[in-house]
Structure 1
Amino acid sequence: MRCFRPRRAADEVDKLVKRPLVSGDVREGGESSTSQLSRIMRPDDANIMGNVHGGTILKMIEEAGCIIGTRHCNTQNGDRCLAALVRVEKTEFLSPVFIGEVAHVTAEITYTSKHSLEVQVQVMAENILTGAMKLSNKAALWYVPVSLKNVDKIMEVPPIKYASAEQAEEGKKRYEAQKLERLETKTRIKDVVSPPSNPEQHTVGFSQSSLIHLVGPSDCTLHDCVHGGVTMKLMDEVAGIVAARHCNTNIVTASVDVINFHRTIKKGCVVTVTGHLTFVSNKSMEIEVIVDASPLMETEKGKYHAVSAYFIFISLDKYNRTLPVPPLKIEGEEQQRSFEEGKARYLQNKAKRLAEKERQQ
């Protein structure tokens, strides 16, 4: 349900949402480069504890990014196009959102290359009874414009204006970095290994979970390809099941490392979303989620890796305080290697958070 915001709430959102790169919120042609969606959180958006699913928020973030990206790319002459999601950078879940709160999702185009654009998104949660506002999420997404006439044709992106040459250069660095990382990630994806028939508790096999979904028309864009937000919601649900099975407590999404969209998933495909634990610290769990797709009516094409990501979950008590996470029992060299790689990511992200905290003080 879309909703109208009172003027006071609208003012608070505008104050709290920071627009980091583009000066004046105007792109070439004089049109606004920002977009906002608002929706009240309903019971079907949340888990049994009343926390809104991380996948619901991710889906709203992608919708806002797709709208502003598609709108911007269609300001030029030529074929009409649709912004297709190819990557989501690390996404922090800064505070939980609850049933009855209104999520205000603001998206802004912050960099454009010849064939792609970066959209930065912030989510504010509003308690409409008290007027209190809190920053819930921040994310950066990359899109490419795909022609509506030819799904294999990537269109050119109209440029945006920057406040300074330094801001344009910083955007270019982010573009080059994500392009390289996407190629590296695609080569690292391994096939999913089935768990043993009677796995021991707190092992990788015990909590590993899969979800099978047939892609229908309501899941798809105008190209008959799956919305990125739909895929992310399924991935978050599977990761949540893995985390809950390992802890047997209330769990919430704390962050998403990076989501890479390697290949498109079309209507009529069967997607298998599989999640398994890779690393566990004292109070967090890293879960690798892989999305495989295969055309239902064209079996000769076989299954392929479509999307991959690492989700970070934490365990909570009934007062929403963090709980210790049971240690992960490692079995075999491959799991040990994955654990060490996950530990390295954990320490790297921890160092970044501490550095960011020091800069803000």
Structure 2
Amino acid sequence: MQIKKPQDTLIIMSELVLPNDTNTLGNLMGGRLMHWMDIAAAIASQKHCNCPVVTASVDNVSFANPIKLGNLLTIEAKLTRAFNTSMEVYLRVWGEDLTAQYKYLSNEAYMTFVALDPNSRPRKVPELVPETDSERKMFDGALRRRQLRLILGGKMKPEDAGELKALFTHE
């Protein structure tokens, strides 16, 4: 299986925020944003594993700044780590007022996807090797984030989370 780099999975997707995408305040609806984020993250994951993927989890989605009607939305999605059958994707969402020439960070999130074989069963994914210091930092943090997801989802006992053990036990 071919080893891949985070840069190989980078997706940049842009959308113009139209009236049908907004709420009564003229802001992009959160559900619409999450829909677009899910698409971008799925494409990044598919670029890595070259097979269909499904969304396994969405971490905390924080809305720092609203994206207004008429603004350009840009989503950057890139894998941070590949595990056995799952992949963590980091997303940054930018809003841009093209008229005022002002770009701002609106949102950040992590999403996890699972690769599927032709029978819709989880399948092994290629290794992801970080190259930059920033990529290595995200790669290292991905294991802790994964363990936390598994604990919160009831799929791992806190005492089994080696990276997080100190947070959940008293020694």
Q: TM-score range by the shorter chain?
A: 0.7 to 0.9
Q: Give the C-alpha shift of residue 201 in structure 1.
A: 6.5
Look up the match of 1:254.
56
Report the alpha carbon displacement of residue 354 of structure 1 after superposing the two structures with TM.
2.5
Q: Are 2:134 and 1:334 aligned?
A: yes
C-alpha spacing 1:223/1:315, structure 2 compared with 1 (3 Å): same
- AA matched with 2:92: I
Residue 91 of structure 2: aligned partner: 289
Name the structure 1 match of 2:119.
319
CA shift, 1:216, in A, is 0.7
Deviation, 1:258, is: 1.2
- Is contact 1:207-1:242 (8 Å) kept? yes
2:17 is aligned with 1:215? yes
Contact 2:3/2:126, CA 8 A, preserved across alignment: no
Post-superposition CA distance 1:19-75 (Å, at most 9, x none): xxxxxxxxxxxxxxxxxxxxxxxxxxxxxxxxxxxxxxxxxxxxxxxxxxxxxxxxx
Q: TM-score with structure 1 length normalisation?
A: 0.42
Question: Equivalents in 1 of 2:157, 2:134: separation in Å?
Answer: 32
Q: In the TM superposition, what is the alpha-carbon distance from 1:257 to its structure 2 partner?
A: 1.2
- Say if 2:3 and 2:128, in contact at 8 Å, map to a contact too: no
Distance between the aligned counterparts of 1:288 and 1:215, measured in 2?
22
Question: What is the CA–CA distance in structure 2 between the aligned matches of 1:278 and 1:351, rounded to whole Å?
Answer: 20
Q: 1:222 to 1:351 in 2, by over 3 A?
A: closer
Instruction: Give the share of equivalent positions with the same residue, in percent.
Output: 30
The residue that corresponds to 2:147 in the other structure is 347
CA deviations on 1:189-217 (whole Å, 9 max, x unpaired) are xxxxxxxxxxx961111110011111111
Report if aligned partners of 1:290, 1:307 keep a CA contact under 8 Å in 2.
yes
Residues in 1 aligned to 2:49 and 2:81: alpha-carbon distance in whole angstroms: 13
Q: d(CA) in 1 for partners of 2:151 and 2:20?
A: 41
Equivalent residue runs for 1:75-154 within 5 Å: none
For the structure 1 residues 253 and 234, does the alpha-carbon distance in structure 2 shift closer, same or farther, using more than 3 Å as the test?
same
In structure 1, how many angstroms separate the alpha carbons of the residues matched to 2:16 and 2:148? 37
What is the RMSD computed on CA atoms of the aligned residues?
Answer: 1.6
- Partner amino acid, structure 2, of 1:227: M
Following superposition, the deviation at residue 318 of structure 1 comes to 1.5
- The equivalent residue for 1:189 is none
Q: How far 1:298 moved relative to its partner?
A: 1.4
Q: Is 1:265 equivalent to 2:60 in the alignment? A: no
Structure 1 partner of 2:29: 227
**Gapped regions of structure 2 (runs ≥ 5):** 159-171
Letter of the 1:272 counterpart: T
**Hey, what's the Cα distance between the residues in 1 that align with 2:157 and 2:140?**
23
**Whole-Å separation in 2 of the counterparts to 1:330 and 1:291:** 22
In structure 1, the partner of 2:46 is: 244
Cross-structure match for 1:33: none
Deviations 1:172-199 (A, max 9, x none): xxxxxxxxxxxxxxxxxxxxxxxxxxxx
Structure 1: where are the runs of 5+ without partners? 1-199, 357-361
Q: Distance in 2 between matches of 1:207 and 1:293?
A: 22
Q: Secondary structure of 2:20's partner?
A: helix
Q: CA–CA distance in 2 between the matches of 1:201 and 1:306?
A: 32
Instruction: Output the CA distance in 2 between the equivalents of 1:328 and 1:320.
Output: 22
